[in-house]
Amino acid sequence: MHPSLSLEKSKIKILLLEGVDPSAVETLKNAGYTNVEYDKKAYDGQELLDKIENVHFLGIRSRTHLTREVLQHAKRLVGVGCFCIGTNQVDLDAAAELGIPVFNAPFSNTRSVAELVTGEYLQLLRDVPARNALLHRGGWKKAAKGCFEARGKTLGIIGYGHIGTQVGIIAESLGLNVVYYDIENKLSLGNAKQLASLDELFAAADIVTLHVPETELTHGMINADAFAKMKNGVFFVNASRGTVVEIDALCEALKSGKVSGAAVDVFPKEPAANGEEFVSPLREFDNVILTPHIGASTEEAQCNIGIEVAQKLALYSDNGSTLTAVNFPEVSLPAKREGVSRLLHVHKNVPGVMRQINEVFASKDINVAAQYLQTTGDVGYVVMDIHSETPEEIVPLLKQIPATLKCRILY
Ligand SMILES: NC(=O)C1=CN([C@@H]2O[C@H](COP(=O)(O)OP(=O)(O)OC[C@H]3O[C@@H](n4cnc5c(N)ncnc54)[C@H](O)[C@@H]3O)[C@@H](O)[C@H]2O)C=CC1
Ligand SMILES: O=C(O)CCC(=O)C(=O)O
């Protein structure tokens, strides 16, 4: 086998943006990837295009938007790591079509979000945000009115996934009743009760907390209509995505007293870096806890995420494994075998592609040692170990297959 086909690890350019945890850099370095650029900022526009032009792997958090145009511009990009749970900031279909798997950390920060949310609604129930603000201004208000125990109250969870279930079990241990609404049928933990509609949840909940992803369905899901259906004096928490709530409707609900207090961690528009001004009509409300998208920002969560996502990128780079990719067929692969070359082929999932690939090998008298294929709806990913002295001559032939999206030699 040609010894120099693999790009040396030190030449593989990795760019980590948005101040991902240093554990990511260390994990990559321990895996042999030394060419790692680390940056605390989130970029957009031309600056982002310039930054990612030559990188092979890109690590981001929630604020870097990888649209189709941005991804198309990054000609050398082979993998993206979202060092977070949400992947709505990436055009996942475009990435798949460009042969770029996207990885995330689906539950390394789950508990951190659940604990923040729990602490927040407990504070809201006791009117702590407004009293705290008052005392900072020299005021004093010792009164029980408008302050409640959590015990016996009903928590309504919208989106009963990883975070929603954790929020639910903590709530039950505090003596709350838990109801939830989810578009999927879910296994209820503890005594939590799944409700058939959002309206039922709004009617039942003393506290409403959101744990849905950003999708077309959840965009603007909490609007004036939704607030109108909630109980008078409800407490409201959003640590999901800013676009799920219409902020003007929340402001109106706060002004009218429909909502007694709120905690908001995520916003339709968030500053790109620390120090930039945070602009929001919610700033005027003392009874609103505002946090700068820190649901996931604990040392434990960030360290674990850094390791988890960096390991996924390194594994994909080392052997082509796409296990747990969020947009891509998942192929789990054995380590490199002696004497074979490994080719990666991403293609449109249409009939006949494997036949055409194998015809190429047959025409060159190449022995195929192993083929690992998986497909999702639109995309197929096949990893092939072949016996060939000159695998680089095969790649252009495989690229000529009309359904090919990407083809490269791994080693
Ligand atoms: N504030 C922060 O720092 C963080 C925010 N997040 C946000 O929280 C979201 C949820 O995270 P996980 O619980 O890990 O996700 P998950 O995927 O485990 O759970 C989401 C749940 O929402 C449900 N769902 C989807 N669309 C729905 C709809 N229209 N109505 C009702 N339910 C719906 C799904 O069926 C699923 O059960 C993430 O997508 C992310 O946007 C996640 C981590 C940190
Ligand atoms: O703090 C971050 O990196 C973003 C956290 C988040 O929203 C997520 O994990 O989806």
Which ipTM did the prediction report? 0.99
pLDDT for residue 335: 79
- The CATH number of the domain holding residue 249 is 3.40.50.720
Tokens of 208: 């409403």
Q: Is residue 253 part of a domain?
A: yes
Domains contained in the chain, number: 3
The secondary structure of residue 244, as a DSSP letter, is: G
> For residue 306, which ligand has an atom nearest its CA?
2
pLDDT for residue 405: 96
Kindly state the helix (H) or strand (E) to which residue 35 belongs, with its residue range.
none
pLDDT for residue 411: 87
pLDDT for residue 223: 98
261 lies in which domain range? 110-290
* Minimum CA distance residue for ligand 1 atom 6: 240
Q: Are 276 and 248 in contact (CB under 8 A)?
A: no
pLDDT for residue 336: 72
What pLDDT digit, counting tens, does each position of 91-146 carry?
999 999 999 999 999 999 999 999 999 999 999 999 999 999 999 999 999 999 99
The least confident of 126-135, 150-159, 209-218, 335-344 is: 335-344
Strands 36-38 and 79-82: unpaired
Q: Is residue 333 part of a domain?
A: no
Do 119 and 148 have their domain in common? yes
Do 98 and 210 have their domain in common? no
Identify the band that residue 272 occupies on the pLDDT scale cut at 50, 70 and 90: confident
Examine the pLDDT at 5 and tell me if it is beyond 90. no
Does residue 297 have its Cβ closer than 6 Å to ligand 2? yes
Do 142 and 270 have their domain in common? yes
Strands 177-181 and 193-194: parallel
pLDDT for residue 4: 45
- The CATH number of the domain holding residue 401 is 3.30.70.260
Do 273 and 128 have their domain in common? yes
Does residue 105 have its Cβ closer than 6 Å to ligand 2? no
pLDDT for residue 337: 82
Q: How many CB atoms lie within 10 A of CB 232?
A: 9
Strands 259-264 and 288-290: parallel
Do 306 and 195 have their domain in common? no
Do 306 and 276 have their domain in common? no
Distances from the Cα of 169 to the Cα of 177, 241, 263, angstroms: 10, 22, 20
Do 43 and 179 have their domain in common? no
Q: How far is the CA of 259 from the centre of ligand 2 (A)?
A: 26
Mean per-residue pLDDT over the chain, rounded: 96
Identify the band that residue 1 occupies on the pLDDT scale cut at 50, 70 and 90: very low
Do 73 and 193 have their domain in common? no
Do 252 and 117 have their domain in common? yes
